[in-house]
Structure 1
Amino acid sequence: MKHLLLAALFLYSCSVICQTDNITSQLYDTYENYKEGSIGKRRIKRADIQPLIDNFTANDKFKVQTVGKSIGGKKLSLISIGSGETNVFLWSQMHGDEPTATQAIFDILNFFDSADFKKEKEAIFANLTIHFLPMLNPDGAELFQRRNLLGIDINRDALRLQSPESKTLKRVRDSLNADFGFNLHDQSTYYNAERTEKPATISYLAPAYNYEKDINETRGNAMKIIVFMNDILQKYAPGQVGRYNDDFEPRAFGDNIQKWGTSTILIESGGYPNDIEKQEIRKLNYTSILSAIYTIAKKSYETIAIEKYEEIPENDRKLFDLKITGASYNLMGNTYVLDLGINQIEVDYPDHNSFWYSSRILDQGDLSTYYGYETLDATGYTIKQAKVYPRTLNSFEEVKALNFNDILKQGFGYVRLSMFPAKRINSPFPVHLIGAKYNVPELNLSPGINPTFFLEKNGVTEYAVINGFLVNLKKTDINVPNSMIFR
């Protein structure tokens, strides 16, 4: 009889999990039906989401409350749906430059507002009440910066509660006495899954609530949900999930919210190849969070083994945008072999609505334990200094008329201009622009410099690196978003 009971429980568990897997596939496949198209770029502002919040305010399915204001006076809104006894609380963008989950929240709200998946949503809303606090740090979002206007990291203000944003988060969590909490962030795109070349597209953490890293039921449930979400993501981003170190941080909200009795799941959105605006990662957030909400409603997570949490690879930070290996470099009459790790660093325009690139060499030497989103084996190639084009041009129009394929094949990486538009801060061409009196320094490879040089083999220039972007000169396409201006 005991064996029959165990078999029945096993079959029930498999049935629930298989149902969830099927729902997950449907969620992923139908995502475009619910994606909020008005916020398709990372540098979103409070003004961009206000019309969306207004729409939900006018919708009887949702309850919308102003629960606080930022230091700069911007509203903090809580959007709730459902009537169940279990409270699920999701908050995003406590760091102003981490918007991916904010976008996903509005996709999820659009899904909840639709007539689709009726049976699943009935189960969700009958068992759960779900609360969303998107963009906790709207002042930081306005400037696309991590910290708030007080200059503090909100995620290190859980004890002193100095900023109004921190006070709001604590007050809302306490008023809900939330059973589950989703702490939604972005992380650097340079994290990778430990000892692999794959980016940590999504990373998880069930924060510790004490220095001993004890696991009680609250934290254990968070671990189970993370195992469940990891299994989902392996289907769409195999090997691209990481796990944060769980050392206790007594000032952090995640650690304290776990301590206060809410099963807390930290989600960090990292990097994904060719996804600069993180829209594929946004889709993965949408799919995995909605699937997690469903498994919480059905309580199917309860049968998941906590031990599988430790099987998720730890986060590492060993990715470059471009890695060049084995290149020969001549210095002071001697030839050396170098690997180069290059990052294409974003610099905001003054309005913080878009950005340009000012790339840097991050490291050089033996980088055999590091990886790249793009990697070139430069064995047999020699690094050569970029030359200045022999004619001084008078306007951007003259530069635009150049044949850049020919220019680069001849080893020219700089073009001299007699004058520049006053407001222009970078070159829109795949060559650097220099002023009439600017002297290009001798190439001396070192961390911190702008990576611009050529790679030559058997006397033929085959590759250019311009502002950290690799150009294959055997092909016709040139993908250099911008270069630099040196006046």
Structure 2
Amino acid sequence: MKKLYTLSIFLLLISFGLSAQDTQFYNELYEKYSRYKEESINQRRFTHDTVVKLIKKQEDNPDFKIKKVGESIEGRSLNLLSIGSGETDVLLWSQMHGDESTATMALFDIFNFLNSQDFKAEKEELLNNVTLHFLPMLNPDGAEKFQRRNALGIDVNRDALRLQSPESKTLKKVRDSLDANFGFNLHDQSRYYNAEGTEKPATISFLAPAYDYEKSINEVRGDAMKLIVLMNNVIQNYAPGQVGRYNDDFEPRAFGDNIQKWGTSTILIESGGYPDDPEKQEIRKLNFVAILAAVFAITDEDYKTVDIAEYEEIPQNDSKLYDLKLTGITYELLGNEYILDLGINHSEVPEDTTRQYSYRAYVADRGDLSTNYAYNSKNFSGYKLISGKVYPEILRDLDAVGKLNFKKLLEMAYAYIPVENLPEKEKFTDYPVNLVSPGFEVSDDISHSFFLEKDGKIEYAVINGFLVKIGETPSVENALILRQ
């Protein structure tokens, strides 16, 4: 199906057991990805209306069959898009959790790939052998609020037995009507997962869900494992060491476990974290390549020759990542000095009127964090932690704040600026200092904002969990507005 090369190259096996032919094909998909990326969605927070418009665009391709297969609790449509005429049915569903949208974006990229003029011969063979069925955004009510659960407040992925919600009933009905050979259960996971034993994030994690407590392996689950090995081998070319294996404890209420049990070889894909990729655009690209690699492998049955033992060699997910890790800090408490490492994370807080968000930092852990890792790490041996101070003058409003010399303020360890007229509903500020109401008092405990001093000189500030070097123009994603 893919471009033929000389026999010697065709037989050459490169690292991870992929043929040179396969690797060239996947590299082309990866390199040409920008041609297929659906540019109308480039952030994780988007709604059902956006999805409906993009689904409607697929009507331009007569090969796509589009069918409304259900409605959410709040009446939003659930739509199935099918393409191909092959006997092997592959079902892909995304955003079962409303705030897990990475793969939904990737599915629309795949639609653009299928609609393109590229790789005609390869796609013709694919669609002659396989029929693809896509159910994007299974939980549109949750997506509307960018929350995990549906409008009923339940986790759709724990409703495979009771089938309380219409979203769950729809997925079960579609799976049963197709009796799909393969299923792709597409999710997002915490960005704080790492590949076990390494500092690298588990950017993509895979799982062939267990169908019983014994974690038995039959042909159905075994085929899922083989496909995962192949996808892992592909992803290693673009995110080496950044693949994990999700926990395979049997969950009797979960759809992945049950769909595996019902006879569909099921692959869970979890999209985690990637450095400097808060909107998961690089991870979206990895989804695009991994899913297409799996589908093409199903087409030509490449996966059948995979050594299933390689599945267990994929590192398990661990949870030892922070956004910021500061090590070796001297901290004084009640007259005694201690050496602490700090692990700081940022939680995303949605803004009230838009689908944007801001960050609120918190100290996730402290102590000996030598077995933990971070996206940004720095050693501060010999540095002393100094609490941020409150500026002695109460400013009238934000205009007055904007006239301050922030570089000078941080040099003097001021992390909090009291403001008489704080905006009523706003909780965040773009200034590199926290704004507080008059009378605000700094906590005695280590907080999200403090300074690091060496030999009596302030050299670094941490403002809302963002590290700033003193003397440079201060910049943070956002600081906080705090009221007493």
Q: TM-score range by the shorter chain?
A: over 0.9
- The corresponding residue for 1:210 is 212
SS of 2:236's equivalent in the other structure is: helix
The whole-number CA distance in structure 1 between the counterparts of 2:11 and 2:275 is 39
- The corresponding residue for 1:4 is none
Structure 1 gaps of 5+ residues are 1-6
The whole-number CA distance in structure 2 between the counterparts of 1:442 and 1:11 is 66
SS of 1:421's equivalent in the other structure is: coil
The whole-number CA distance in structure 1 between the counterparts of 2:215 and 2:404 is 62
- The corresponding residue for 1:441 is 442
The whole-number CA distance in structure 2 between the counterparts of 1:464 and 1:209 is 50
Asked if 1:454 corresponds to 2:451, the answer is yes
The whole-number CA distance in structure 1 between the counterparts of 2:73 and 2:353 is 20
Deviates more, 1:11-20 or 1:27-36: 11-20
- The corresponding residue for 1:148 is 150
Identity %: 57
For residues 67-106 of structure 1, give each alpha carbon's deviation from its aligned partner in whole angstroms, at most 9, with x where no partner exists: 0000010000001111111001100000000000000000
Asked if 1:431 corresponds to 2:428, the answer is no
One-letter amino acid matched to 2:453: E
One-letter amino acid matched to 1:483: L
Q: Does the CA-based 8 Å contact 1:83-1:128 persist in structure 2?
A: yes
The whole-number CA distance in structure 1 between the counterparts of 2:249 and 2:324 is 31
SS of 2:234's equivalent in the other structure is: helix
- The corresponding residue for 2:313 is 311
One-letter amino acid matched to 1:365: G
Q: Does the CA-based 8 Å contact 1:414-1:433 persist in structure 2?
A: yes
- Equivalent residue runs for 1:368-383 within 5 Å: 368-383=370-385
How many residues align? The count is 475
Deviation at 1:145, TM superposition (A): 0.6
Asked if 1:250 corresponds to 2:247, the answer is no
Q: Does the CA-based 8 Å contact 1:17-1:300 persist in structure 2?
A: no
- Equivalent residue runs for 1:278-289 within 5 Å: 278-289=280-291
TM-score, normalised via structure 1 length:
0.95
Deviation at 1:430, TM superposition (A): 1.1
SS of 2:191's equivalent in the other structure is: coil
- The corresponding residue for 1:467 is 464
Deviation at 1:442, TM superposition (A): 4.0
Deviation at 1:366, TM superposition (A): 1.0
Deviation at 1:413, TM superposition (A): 0.3
Distance verdict in 2 for CA 1:424–1:440, change over 3 Å: same
Deviation at 1:170, TM superposition (A): 0.5
Deviation at 1:168, TM superposition (A): 0.3
SS of 2:251's equivalent in the other structure is: coil
Q: Does the CA-based 8 Å contact 1:16-1:300 persist in structure 2?
A: no
Q: Does the CA-based 8 Å contact 2:388-2:442 persist in structure 1?
A: no
Deviation at 1:401, TM superposition (A): 1.9
Structure 2 gaps of 5+ residues are 1-6
For residues 100-158 of structure 1, give each alpha carbon's deviation from its aligned partner in whole angstroms, at most 9, with x where no partner exists: 00000000001001111111101110100001000000000001110101111111111
CA RMSD of aligned residues (A): 1.7
Q: Does the CA-based 8 Å contact 2:464-2:478 persist in structure 1?
A: no
Which of 66, 75, 78 lines up with 2:77 in the alignment?
A: 75
For residues 382-421 of structure 1, give each alpha carbon's deviation from its aligned partner in whole angstroms, at most 9, with x where no partner exists: 0001111222211212211222111111111011111112
Asked if 1:482 corresponds to 2:479, the answer is yes
Q: Does the CA-based 8 Å contact 2:12-2:20 persist in structure 1?
A: no
The whole-number CA distance in structure 2 between the counterparts of 1:475 and 1:425 is 26
Q: Does the CA-based 8 Å contact 1:13-1:300 persist in structure 2?
A: no
Q: Does the CA-based 8 Å contact 2:343-2:363 persist in structure 1?
A: yes
Q: Does the CA-based 8 Å contact 2:344-2:364 persist in structure 1?
A: yes
